[in-house]
Amino acid sequence: MTEIFNHELFGALAEEKEVKQILSKVMEARRSKSYDSYEILGKFVGKQQVTKLILPLKEILQNTTSLKLARKVHETLRRIIAGLIVNPDMTADALLLLSYGLVSENLPLLTEKEKKPAAPVPDARLPPQSCLLLPATPVRGGPKAVVNKKTNMHIFIESGLR
């Protein structure tokens, strides 16, 4: 179900709904029910399934630099948390643990265990590389800056603090 909601909020369907002409003609395109659906899911989800609701949103935040998508994810997280607060299965301890995990960015299923490949061991038989060689001169413009995965993670921290 979350795939359908994410497709409606963040996929091609969301782009189609943003077109002004479609909004005025089609009744279904006027309002998105995915936010309400996420809130209902938050009301009835079990403790073990909470991360399955949050993980796709984290992936969307990591892969985008769009402010519009970041705001949609923020609203979705707000709705999920509003549902979790009303959820009878979520005790105060569970909510505090979830909040702490969002703020410290170390929920077990949300953190990726990135393994860096080990540097190859230099062959002892080869002569050492000369330190007198100059590196190539940098060109203007150079390579584009890489977008960090933690660019939009402040949204998760803010949601955890609420």
Residue 35 lies in a domain: yes
Residue 83 lies in a domain: yes
CB-based contact 76:82 (threshold 8 Å): no
User: Which letter does DSSP use for residue 51 in this model?
Assistant: H
Instruction: Say how far apart CA 17 and CA 20 lie, in whole Å.
Output: 8
Tokens 């497709």: give the residue. Answer: 7
> What is residue 49's three-state secondary structure?
helix
Residue 25 lies in a domain: yes
Q: What is the pTM of this model?
A: 0.68
Residue 92 lies in a domain: yes
Domain interval for residue 43: 2-112+149-161
Residue 51 lies in a domain: yes
Q: Nearest-5° angle of CA 77, CA 82, CA 87?
A: 120
Helices (H), the chain: 2-10, 12-17, 20-25, 34-44, 50-63, 67-86, 92-104, 154-161
Instruction: Say how far apart CA 162 and CA 149 lie, in whole Å.
Output: 23
Residue 38 lies in a domain: yes
Based on the structure, what is the number of domains in the chain? 1
Contacts of 8 (CB under 8 A, 6+ apart): 14, 32, 33, 34
Residue 41 lies in a domain: yes
User: Could you tell me how far CA 138 lies from the centroid of its own chain?
Assistant: 34
Residue 6 lies in a domain: yes
pLDDT truncated to tens, each residue of the chain (162 aa)?
777 777 777 777 666 666 655 555 666 555 677 788 888 888 899 888 888 888 888 888 888 878 888 888 889 889 998 999 999 988 989 888 888 888 887 765 555 555 567 777 777 787 777 767 777 787 787 777 666 667 777 777 777 777
